[in-house]
């Protein structure tokens, strides 16, 4: 198989046949035909304007809620990891955060400025762009509860400022104008006490360390919690803690985590996800809905 190589691009880094496993928190997945890392927001817009309309396009950030299949992704992958990371005060109680900003960084930024309400972001191992796309949440907080406006872009490189009421938002689900991608958000917070906010963040992180298998590659929670119940409880009640397929294993520490315990392939993880869904439905009568996004080409 051909090795990856770079191609000259004035708008950022463009890599050809680039392995993606290192770009995801599960540490699995095949190659991207092309991986583009924008220099900055202007570089991203310029790149999109030059991209042929026929080119398949996929966006990713930290890769923490993503399973990329072993045969990889055809077309171009835009990766904002480490890019689009502008984070600044817009008003005394509003924060502007670009899509590549790490959620834990956002939590600390707000607490350091005496703003309350963003502490839960410390428990989200992803970026602001990903959090916007799925209404990510932790410790009782959800992303879109704070959103005033968002900046989006279509694949032609045209930007649009949109208000919160232009989106339908639910639990781990967001619907808005078709074929637009999140570039940034304007978040409305309340004035608080920085010391109290930092203490809450510290408590959240301690709880996360105590209850989640952070020592092994995972995507975080695999399934959404069904109404009035918890996916982890249903999986554990079905006797699936420790169940494995290949190198993928249902965590003994938190049943809603699937960990890469022994050089798993993406196919192992996907097969385990489907097995868990089927067993929970058979034993508990509830069909779990995956929170993780599964993309890419599968083996024939």
Q: Are residues 143 and 198 in the same domain?
A: yes
In Å, how far from its chain's centre is CA 123? Answer: 12
CATH number at residue 251: 3.90.78.10
Residue 226 lies in a domain: no
My answer on whether 117 and 205 are in the same domain is: yes
- Phi and psi at residue 146, in whole multiples of 5°? -105, -10
Q: Is residue 144 part of a domain?
A: yes
Q: Which of 79, 96, 120 is the last residue of a domain?
A: 79
Same domain, 239 and 195: no
Please state the domain count of the chain. Answer: 3
pLDDT value for 1? 43
CATH number at residue 49: 3.30.43.10
Q: What is the pLDDT of residue 297?
A: 85
Residues 115 and 188 in one domain: yes
Whether residues 178 and 283 fall in one domain: no
**Shared domain check, 280 and 245:** yes
Please calculate the CA angle 215-226-247 and round it to the nearest 5 degrees: 35
How does pLDDT run along the chain (300 residues), one tens digit per residue? Answer: 445 656 778 999 999 999 999 999 999 999 999 999 999 999 999 999 999 999 999 999 999 999 999 999 999 999 998 899 999 999 999 999 999 999 999 999 999 999 999 999 999 999 999 999 999 999 999 999 999 999 999 999 999 999 999 999 999 999 999 999 999 999 999 999 999 999 999 999 999 999 999 999 999 999 999 999 999 999 999 999 999 999 999 999 999 999 999 999 999 999 999 999 999 999 999 999 999 999 998 765
Within this chain, do residues 180 and 148 fall inside the same structural domain, yes or no? yes
Q: In Å, what is the CA distance from 300 to each residue of 2, 32, 70, 71, 207?
A: 20, 18, 11, 10, 42
pTM: 0.91
Q: Which domain holds residue 251?
A: 231-295
Is residue 151 domain-resident? yes
What pLDDT is recorded for position 300?
56
Could you report the per-residue pLDDT of 53-73, keeping only the tens digit for each? 999 999 999 999 999 999 999
CATH number at residue 117: 3.30.465.10
Q: Tens digits of per-residue pLDDT, 132-157? A: 999 999 999 999 999 999 999 999 99
Residue at 220 is within a domain? no
**Same structural domain, 113 and 173:** yes
Residue from 221, 265, 270, 277 carrying the catalytic annotation: 221
For residues 104 and 128, state if they share a domain.
yes
Name the catalytic one among 37, 69, 83, 172: 172
pLDDT of residue 8: 74
User: What does the alpha-carbon distance between residue 125 and residue 198 come to, in Å, rounded to a whole number?
Assistant: 18
Active-site residue 291, yes or no? yes
CA 4 to chain centre: 25
95 and 71 co-located in one domain: no
Q: Are 177 and 171 in contact (CB under 8 A)?
A: no
Looking at residue 298, its pLDDT comes to 75
What values do phi and psi take at 238, rounded to 5? Answer: -85, 5
């Amino acid at each position: 198989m051909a090795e990856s190589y770079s191609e000259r691009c004035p708008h950022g880094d463009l890599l050809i046949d680039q392995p993606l496993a290192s770009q995801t928190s599960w540490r699995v997945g095949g190659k991207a035909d092309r991986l583009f890392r924008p220099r900055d927001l202007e570089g991203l817009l310029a790149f999109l304007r030059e991209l042929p309309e026929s080119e398949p396009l996929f966006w990713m950030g930290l890769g923490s809620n993503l399973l990329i299949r072993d045969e990889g992704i055809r077309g171009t992958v835009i990766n904002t990891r480490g890019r689009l990371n502008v984070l600044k005060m817009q008003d005394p109680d509003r924060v502007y955060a670009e899509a590549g900003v790490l959620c834990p960084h956002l939590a600390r930024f707000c607490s350091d400025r005496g703003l309350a309400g963003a502490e839960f972001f410390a428990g989200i191992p992803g970026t602001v762009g990903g959090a916007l796309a799925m209404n990510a949440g932790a410790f009782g907080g959800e992303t879109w509860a704070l959103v005033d406006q968002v900046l989006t872009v279509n694949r032609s490189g045209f930007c649009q400022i949109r208000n919160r009421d232009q989106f339908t938002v639910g639990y781990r689900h967001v619907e808005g104008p078709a074929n637009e991608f999140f570039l940034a958000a304007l978040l409305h917070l309340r004035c608080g006490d920085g010391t109290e906010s930092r203490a809450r963040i510290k408590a959240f992180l301690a709880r996360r360390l105590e209850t989640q298998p952070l020592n092994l590659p995972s995507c975080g929670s695999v399934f959404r919690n069904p109404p009035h119940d918890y996916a982890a409880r249903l999986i554990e009640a079905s006797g699936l803690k420790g169940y494995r397929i290949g190198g993928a294993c249902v965590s003994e520490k938190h049943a809603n985590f699937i960990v890469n315990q022994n050089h798993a392939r993406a196919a192992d993880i996907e097969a385990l996800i489907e097995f868990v869904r089927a067993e929970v439905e058979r034993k508990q009568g509830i069909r779990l809905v995956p929170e993780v996004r599964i993309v890419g080409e599968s083996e024939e």
